[in-house]
């Protein structure tokens, strides 16, 4: 898993990315907007530096187009470096998104670091994931805030350090 140190410039760009309070279908009711925008900014910056062709076109269905693929970036908050047993989740309400891949990132609560957990094609994610109902308990006594599909981080494809992933 790659660890990225977050810059103040990236945080400022993320603050300007969205002019609304809450993304439709937001599990955290808008509390994670900055973190989500920051995940998108970091993925954008990484793939720009790698020389990928990127179109920043944020829709309900996807956040970026990288080398012709529609990418939706999913970001969660964390207190520490994620471990392989962490869940990467897609809310059930977003299952109909028209994207090709999901990229999963974790950003620390203090906005200092971003962890690139991995990626999965939409098709593979839903074939391999498990469904959890709102209110069910996951490991660590964490309660699901909405119906969602989950895949353990260990089952994601890892980002490579090459120019093309």
Number of CB atoms found within 10 A of residue 90's CB: 21
Distance CA(137)–CA(153), nearest Å, equals 18
pLDDT of residue 99: 97
Helix residue spans in the chain (DSSP H): 8-17, 33-49, 122-128
Residue segments in the chain with a per-residue pLDDT below the cut of 70: 18-31, 161-165
The position carrying tokens 């350090």 is 161
The pLDDT, as a whole number, for residue 163 is 36
Angle at alpha carbon of residue 109, lines to 120 and 115, rounded to 5°: 30
What confidence score (pLDDT) does residue 3 get?
93
Q: Alpha carbon of 7 to those of 24, 34, 123, 160: distances in Å?
A: 28, 14, 33, 22
Q: Please tell me the pTM assigned to this model.
A: 0.87
The pLDDT value recorded for residue 24 is: 53
pLDDT of residue 17: 79
Contact status, residue 120 vs residue 151, Cβ threshold 8 Å: yes
- Say what the pLDDT of residue 19 is: 59
Q: What was the pLDDT predicted at 59?
A: 83
* Cα 106 to the center of its chain, rounded Å: 7
Instruction: Please give the structure tokens belonging to residue 129.
Output: 């994931």
Contact assessment for residue 39 and residue 114, using Cβ atoms and an 8 Å cutoff: yes
């Amino acid at each position: 898993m790659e660890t990225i140190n977050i810059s103040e410039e990236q945080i400022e760009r993320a603050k300007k990315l969205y002019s609304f309070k809450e993304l439709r279908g937001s599990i955290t009711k808008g509390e994670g907007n900055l973190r989500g925008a920051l995940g998108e900014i970091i993925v954008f910056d990484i793939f720009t530096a790698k020389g990928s062709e990127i179109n920043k076109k944020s829709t309900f269905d996807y956040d970026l187009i990288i080398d012709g693929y529609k990418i939706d970036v999913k970001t969660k908050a964390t207190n520490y470096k994620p471990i392989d047993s962490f869940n990467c989740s897609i809310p059930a309400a977003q299952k109909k998104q028209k994207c090709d891949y999901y990229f999963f990132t974790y950003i620390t609560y203090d906005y200092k670091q971003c962890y690139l957990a991995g990626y999965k094609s939409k098709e593979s994610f839903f074939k391999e994931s498990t469904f959890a109902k709102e209110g069910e308990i996951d490991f660590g006594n964490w309660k699901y805030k909405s119906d969602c599909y989950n895949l353990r981080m260990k089952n994601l494809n890892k980002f490579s350090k090459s120019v093309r992933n």
